[in-house]
Amino acid sequence: MSKLYQFSAVLVILTSFISTPLQAQITEDTYHRAEYFLSNSIQREVYHLEVDPNWIRGSADFWHQAYTPAGKRFFITDGSSSKTKELFDHQKLARLLSEKTGASVDARNLPFDRIQVDKDGLIEFEWRNQQWKFDPKTESLTSEKKPDRGNYDYSVSPDGKWKAYTQNFNLFVENLETGEVNQLSFDGKKGYEYASYWGWSDMMYGENGERPAHFMARWSPDSKFLLTQVVDLRLAEKMFLLDYSQEDKFRPQLQSYYRGSPGDSTVVTYTPVLFDIEHKKESKYPALRGTHFNSLNLRWSPDSQTLNGFFVPRGFKEINLLEMDRSTGSLRKIYSEASKTNINTNPILRRLENGQFIISSEKSGWNQLYLYDWDSGRELQSITQGEFVVKNITYIDEAKGVIYFEATGREKDVNPYYNMLYKINLDGSDLQLLTPEKSFHGISYQDGKDYFVDNYSRVDQPTISVIRELETGKILQKISEADISNLKKRGYDFPKPFTAIGKDSKTPIYGIYYVPTTFDPNKKYPVVDYTYTGPHIDITPKTFKSALIGLQQSMAELGMVVITVDGLGTAGRGKAFHDFSYNNLGDGTTDHVLAIQQLASQVDFLDIDKVGIFGHSAGGYDAARAMLLHPEFYKVGVASAGDHDHRMEKAWWPEMYMGYPVGDFYHNQSNVTNAANLQGHLLLAHGGIDENVNPSATYKLAEALIAAGKDFDLFIWPSRNHSFGRTNGDYFTKKRWDYFIEHLLDQEPIRHYQIKTD
C-alpha cells in the first residue's frame, strides 16, 4: 500500500470523527440510580412510610404494616392506651410456616400482606392456596384449604326464603322452602337481558364470542320486592382488538367489547325494573333509561318502602336526586341542580335520622355543604360557606349536632391543595380547624371511635403518623415518623414546590420539581415535564409518599430536572378554576410552558432550550398535544396509551369534561388533526390489547404523521393492556428512559440492558 493511500485513509477516518460528534455513553450506574426509585424497591427503603389503619371489629384497636430496619413488620395499636407494638413474633411465625410446609420463610419478608385480626388477637391470612390461622398467645398455627369463591350468579333474599336468578335472559325466583319456581319476566332475549350489567372490561373472543354473564338484583330489606334492570345491547356497537401475543396461536385472536364513543347513539342502555314478588308484578321505567355510563343507581331505604338515587342525564350538566315509591311506582324529585358546563355527578350525600339530609354542591362556585329537608326537598340552610373545597364528610355526630369534614383551600398562606380536618355545627356555627399543621393531612376514621389517625406530610417533609382526639384534634400519640436515612445516604433531596401564574395572567398555579441525587447547581439540566392534565384529578404530588412513589425521581436520576404542574382546568380548586378545561382539554399544557419559563427565571440550572414531556393515557394525549401545540418549546415527547382524538375515546370521559354534544372543538383539538405541526422527536406507545384507551387513535395519529411526512417512533407492546410503564418499572420504562437519554441528553443508551425491579 502506498504511503499516499495510507495517509488518505487516515485522513478520511479523522474527518469522519470530526464531522460526526460522538455521543457520550451512559453508564450502568445511571440506570442503577434510576432503578432505586422504582416503587418496588423504594417502598422498602423508607421505614414507617405511613400508617394505613385496618380497624379491628369489636375493638378500639387497629393494625398496620410497615417496613423497618428488621424488614416488613405488622403492628397493632391499642386505641384505649394509644400504644403501638409489633402484632406478633415474626421470627416464630416464620419458623412455624417453614415447619408446616418445608418452605424457606424469611421473617424479614413474610409471604403475605393482607391479614384479618379479630378482637381476641387471632390472625388469619392466605398463602399457598391455604387459609392460615395463627394465635400469637398460644403460638399455634393451623391451616385449611382456601374456601372457594362465592357464587355471584344468583341472589338470596334477606329473609332466606327466595333465590333470584336468570335463565334464557329472563328473571326467575325460587322459593327455597317449597322449591316452587316463578318466572317474573317474559320478554327477555339475547341482547335484551334482565338482571345483568355491562362490565367495564368484558371481552368477547372470536367472531361469535359470548359476552361474560353477570347478575344484578337488589332485594328490598323486607324481601318483598326486587330491583333490577334490563340491559339492552341490540344497537350497541363494539370496538375491536387483535391479540398477536398468545404462544399457542399462529393467528391473532379477535377480541371485542361494547364501548360507545362521544355522541354515539349506538351504546349499551339500562332500563330500571321493579318486581313485586308476591303479586308477580313488573314495573319498567323507560323514562329513567340511561346509557351504561350515566345510568340510575337506586338504593333501598331501610324501611323498604322507597328507593332513591341520583339520575344524571347524558351530557353530565344536570343531576337529580329521585325517590321511587315501591307500591305506586311514582317518582319524586327531591333535589336537582344544573350547570352550563359539567356538574359534579358524585356529590356528598348523608341522610340524617331526623328526616333531613346533607348534600354538597358547587352552586356557589365552591363545593360546600347544605342542609335540606327530605320530604319537601326544601333547602334549610348552608352549613359551610367560603372560597374553599369540601372534600369529604368524615363523621356526623347527630346527637351533638356536629359534622367532621375534610376540606382544602381555606387556610391562608397554605397550599390550597392541602387536605385538613374541620368540625362545624349543623347550623353552620363554630367552625374549627382540627389539624393545624401546614401539611397535607390523610385522615382515617372508623365510626364510633373517639380518635382518628392522621398521616401528615408534604413533598419536602416525611410523613408523621399520629393519633388525634376526634373532638379537639389534640395529638394523643405519635405512632411513627418516616425514616429516610437510606435516601439521605444516596444524596436524595426533596422535590421543591414552586408557584407560577397561569395563562389567565392572574391565578397562581402550583407545581414541584425533582433534581437527581448527583445534582450540581452550577450545571445546566434539560427539563422534562411529566403531564396529566386530566380534569378529574390534580396530579402534582402533595404528600411525601406520593412524591416518592412516582415516575419523576427515577427519570430525574438520568440527569434531568423533572417538573409536574397542576394548571388551570384541573381539579381541586373550585368551579371557575375547573371550567377552564371544559370544551378545552387541548390547552392544558400551556400552563406548563408558562410554569417552566417562570421557574427558569428564578433558578439558574434549567436549560429550557432542551425541554421534553411524557405522559400516559390522558397524559399521553397531553404529551403529543404539547409537541403539536408548542412545537418550538417541547423538543422531545413520549406519549403512551394516549387518547389522541377524543371522538374515538370512551364516551363518558370526553362527554363529561370535553362537552356534549360533540362540536368542532373536538376536531380542532385532535392530535390527529394537528399532526403536521410536529417538529421534535416523538415516541408513540400503546398496549396492543388496551381495552381502556383503544390503540386505534394511536394508529390513526401514526397515519396522519406519515401522511404529513413527519419522522416519529412507534412502540406497540402486543400483549399489554392499558397498564404499562407504571411506577414499578417494566420493559417500556427503559424504552422511555432511553428516548430522553438519546434525544434530550444526547447520550447513547445501553442496548439490551434490563432494568432491575426488585
pLDDT band at 13 (very low <50, low <70, confident <90, very high): very low
Centre a 10 Å sphere on the Cβ of residue 55 and count the other Cβ atoms it contains. 19
Task: Provide DSSP, 285-310.
Answer: -GGG-EETTS----EE-TTSSEEEEE
Query: Residue 14: what pLDDT?
Result: 38
Rounded average pLDDT over 344-354: 95
Query: Residue 332: what pLDDT?
Result: 96
Rounded average pLDDT over 616-635: 98
SS3 385: coil
Can you list the pairs that 697-703 forms with residues at least 24 positions away whose Cβ atoms lie under 8 Å?
Answer: 697/642, 697/643, 697/644, 697/645, 697/648, 697/649, 697/672, 698/641, 698/642, 698/644, 700/644, 700/645, 700/648, 700/672, 701/624, 701/642, 701/644, 701/645, 701/671, 701/672, 701/675
Residue 385 has pLDDT above 70, yes or no: yes
Count of residues making up the chain: 758
For the CA atoms of 250, 254, 255, 257, what is the dihedral angle to 10 degrees? 180
Distance CA 744, CA 214 (A): 49
Alpha helices in 638-686 (DSSP H): 652-657, 664-668
Pair 464, 457: CB distance under 8 Å: yes
Rounded average pLDDT over 582-609: 97
Superfamily of domain 495-747: Alpha/Beta hydrolase fold, catalytic domain (3.40.50.1820)
Q: Which residue has the higher pLDDT, 20 or 160?
A: 160
pLDDT band at 108 (very low <50, low <70, confident <90, very high): very high
pLDDT per residue over 643-652, tens digit each?
A: 999 999 999 9
Backbone angles phi and psi of 320, in degrees to 5:
-130, 130
Query: Residue 294: what pLDDT?
Result: 87
Q: Give the end-to-end CA distance of the chain in Å, rounded to a whole number.
A: 57
Please report how many Cα atoms fall inside a 13 Å half-sphere around the Cα of residue 457, on the Cβ side.
27
Rounded average pLDDT over 250-264: 94
pLDDT band at 80 (very low <50, low <70, confident <90, very high): confident
Percent of the chain, pLDDT > 70? 97
Query: Residue 19: what pLDDT?
Result: 40
pLDDT band at 656 (very low <50, low <70, confident <90, very high): very high
pLDDT per residue over 215-243, tens digit each?
A: 999 999 999 999 999 999 999 999 999 99
Distance CA 701, CA 673 (A): 8
Query: Residue 12: what pLDDT?
Result: 39
Query: Residue 11: what pLDDT?
Result: 38
pLDDT per residue over 417-429, tens digit each?
A: 999 999 999 999 9
Which residues lie below 8 Å from residue 479, measured CB to CB, with a gap of 6+?
Answer: 51, 77, 84, 453, 465, 466, 467
Choice among 73-82, 470-479, 613-622 with the minimum mean pLDDT: 73-82
Query: Residue 22: what pLDDT?
Result: 45
Query: Residue 147: what pLDDT?
Result: 82
Distance CA 724, CA 733 (A): 8
Burial of 622 (0-12, 13-18, 19+ CB in 10 A): buried
Residue 757 has pLDDT above 90, yes or no: no
Distance CA 106, CA 585 (A): 50
Averaged pLDDT of the chain: 94
Query: Residue 526: what pLDDT?
Result: 98
Pair 673, 642: CB distance under 8 Å: no
Distance CA 51, CA 544 (A): 13
pLDDT band at 16 (very low <50, low <70, confident <90, very high): very low
Among 448, 330, 435, which residue's Cα sits nearest to residue 391?
435
Query: Residue 200: what pLDDT?
Result: 85
CA-based diameter of the chain, in Å? 110
pLDDT per residue over 551-561, tens digit each?
A: 999 999 999 99
SS3 454: strand
* The dihedral sign for the CA sequence 288, 291, 293, 298: positive
Query: Residue 445: what pLDDT?
Result: 97
Pair 79, 449: CB distance under 8 Å: yes
Distance CA 334, CA 503 (A): 40
pLDDT band at 23 (very low <50, low <70, confident <90, very high): low
pLDDT band at 443 (very low <50, low <70, confident <90, very high): very high
Model-level pTM? 0.94
Q: If you search the block for the grid coordinates 464531522, which residue do you land on?
A: 19
Task: Provide DSSP, 473-537.
Answer: --EEEEEEE-B-HHHHHTT----EEEEEE-TTSS-EEEEEEE--TT--TTS-EEEEEE----TTS
Buried b / exposed e along 457-496 (16+ C-beta atoms within 10 A): bbbebbbbbbbbebeebeeeeebbebbbeebeeeebebbb
pLDDT per residue over 712-753, tens digit each?
A: 999 999 999 999 999 999 999 999 999 999 999 999 999 999
Residue ranges covered by each domain of the chain: 48-145, 388-483, 495-747
How far CA 419 is from CA of 391, 409, 424, 494, in Å, comes to 8, 8, 16, 20
What residues pair up with 132 in beta bridges, in sequence order?
Answer: 125, 143
pLDDT band at 662 (very low <50, low <70, confident <90, very high): very high
Rounded average pLDDT over 575-586: 97
Pair 380, 366: CB distance under 8 Å: no
Centre a 10 Å sphere on the Cβ of residue 417 and count the other Cβ atoms it contains. 19
How far CA 69 is from CA of 25, 39, 46, 108, 220, in Å, comes to 36, 18, 9, 9, 52
Burial of 180 (0-12, 13-18, 19+ CB in 10 A): exposed
Residue 3 has pLDDT above 50, yes or no: no
Return the H-helix or E-strand segment holding 358.
Answer: strand 356-361
Distance CA 116, CA 568 (A): 43
Distance CA 218, CA 273 (A): 11
pLDDT band at 1 (very low <50, low <70, confident <90, very high): very low
Rounded average pLDDT over 667-673: 98
pLDDT per residue over 496-545, tens digit each?
A: 999 999 999 999 999 999 999 999 999 999 999 999 998 999 999 999 99
Residue 146 has pLDDT above 90, yes or no: no
Rounded average pLDDT over 261-286: 95
Distance CA 593, CA 257 (A): 38
User: Cell for 362?
Assistant: 358547587
Distance CA 167, CA 163 (A): 13
Residue 599 has pLDDT above 60, yes or no: yes
Percent of the chain, pLDDT > 90? 92
User: Cell for 330?
Assistant: 311514582
Q: Are strands 636-640 and 606-616 parallel, antiparallel or unpaired?
A: parallel
